Amino acid sequence: MTDMTDDIADEISFQSFEDDCRMLGRLLQEVLQREVRSQIMEKIERTRILAQKNRGN
């Protein structure tokens, strides 16, 4: 007998969660660009790129 939660978990889509995370990231970037100097934004972008490379993406 299978557990009902297994059936529900199989049907859950994480696509909307990922879309929400991307949207929040874009909003954060817009706010930071407006509120902080471009030098800080360059450091943030460099850090982001290094983190992605370190992750293997």
Contacts of 32 (CB under 8 A, 6+ apart): 40, 41, 44
Q: Cα(first)–Cα(last) distance of the chain, in Å?
A: 40
Residue 1 has pLDDT above 90, yes or no: no
DSSP label of 49: H
Secondary structure of residue 15 in the 3-state scheme: helix
Prediction pTM value: 0.49
At 14-39, the pLDDT tens digits run: 778 888 999 998 998 888 888 887 78
DSSP label of 12: -
